Structures are given as structure tokens and as C-alpha cells.
Homo-oligomer: A and B are copies of this chain.
């Protein structure tokens, strides 16, 4: 397993930021593996992601904050330090359609997703066998029967118990309350089965079919309190024609949804995403 540190920074753009940060890391013998930065000139913002090998790094992680504070203050940085050795803990929410769930679990098992998945939460029993195969507990929270408020309290309790960092909505067909979303800001990823902002809301494939579009899409995004309006992480499309019936759209769309959601999850757990101005920067 990798043993690296990842430093994510955003701050007002000004001269000397890179010099200060890279000098700091150099003085502590950081062997930088990846560095990427982005400047938004309209907003005067500077954003960067730096990843270095912790082998030979001359500063204890516990001391990093104190040592870095003068630079952070000088440049008014918002920053966080992540360790690749500490795996993120993700909970997957699913309803009846399980293609994204199956896809994520396969990728997880084959080592493509470097996170832990301590639990799956569903409002249905359908995913039980699949969860069992992957040896991950499935918790059925029957939203319709319990009522949303009670169900969300139960879900949140499960998330706390399991120390969840990231919630992945893998075609979870319930809308989360603003209160729920507020507990996990920029830590809930949803996949919407359209090319947002086209066909936000319900039944996007039906509406795409009726509108006669020539491409269909899928979008993964962070969930905010406004439905389908959160920062977009990834999108992709596939060509269709008049020969494709509604069920063909649904089928072609499934492959998009899987790819688009799994990329978003991977980038998130690799700490590649910074959100600003309702948009994402994905450092690759």
C-alpha cells in the first residue's frame, strides 16, 4: 500500500504561494510524487494538490499543522492533509436497481477502489445476496414504512456507528432531507441518469426519449440540498438513434452510470477533488 501524504489547499491567489509551500516541503525532505495546481483568474483563487512519499519525510504528521501554520496564515489558506494509509470508509445506498452497486463492489474487491465499505443501506431486500457474496452487511431501512424522518435517523445512526466518511448513492431513489445532507457536506456522491442540467428530476430516460435527443448521458455529483444541483464531478454520454427504444436507453445508460459513478468515488477517495464556486476541480 502507498504511504503518502496529500495536501489540498485553496486560497486567494498571490505571488509566492508555490515558492513558500514547495520550500516548506523541501526543507522537510518531502519526495513529491504528484503536484497539480489550478488558478481561477476570475475569482482570484489558487488551488493545489500535492502528494509526497512519507518515507523519509522529516516531519511527524502530528506536527504538520503547527509547522505549516505560518504559511497557511500568511496566505489565508483553507487546507487539509490526508494520508493514503488511512482508508476512507464508504457506505453505499441502493434501492432496487443494483447495477451500480454490483459494479462498485466488484471494483472494490478487485482493488480498484482503495476504500473500506463497512455497510450497504437499502430500502429494499433485493441486494442481500449480492452484499453477502461480497461479505458486506446490508441494512434494510424501509423508508416508506418508517417514514422519512425516522428512516434518516436510523441511517445516520448507522453511518456514525460505522464512522463513515463518504456516502455513495448508487441509484438510491429516495431524496435525502436537507438536514441529512448537511451532516455530510461534499461527502455524498450521487449518480443521476442524465446529462445534467438536462433532465434533472424524475424519469430522465423517458424524457430524453420523448425529446428525441441523439446522445444520452449520466452525471455524478456531490449532493446539496437542492436536487440535482450539486457540483458535478463527472459526466459521460453515449450515442443513440431513432432505432433505440426506451429500454435501449435504459440499458445503454446503465453502462454510463457505472463508469461515471465509480470514477467519482475513486477520485474522491484519492482526495483528487476540490469544490469551489459550485464546481469541482478534479486533479489528475
Chain A residues with CB under 8 Å of chain B are: 15-16, 18-19, 22-23, 25-26, 29-39, 41, 98-99, 102, 106, 110, 112, 129, 133, 195-199, 210-215, 217, 231-237, 239, 241-243, 245, 251, 255, 259, 277-282, 284
Copies, count:
4
Q: Distance in Å from the Cβ of A206 to the closest Cβ of chain B?
A: 12
Chain B residues with CB under 8 Å of A112's CB are 251
* One of B210, B211, B232 near A213 (C-beta < 8 A): B232
13 contacts between A and B (CB under 8 A): A15-B29, A18-B32, A33-B39, A36-B36, A106-B106, A129-B133, A197-B199, A198-B198, A210-B279, A213-B232, A214-B233, A215-B236, A242-B281
Known contacts A235-B215, A242-B281, A284-B243; decide if A22 and B32 are in contact (CB<8 Å). Answer: no
Q: Top 3 closest A-B pairs, CB basis?
A: A212-B279, A198-B198, A19-B26
Chain B residues with CB under 8 Å of A212's CB are 231-232, 277-280
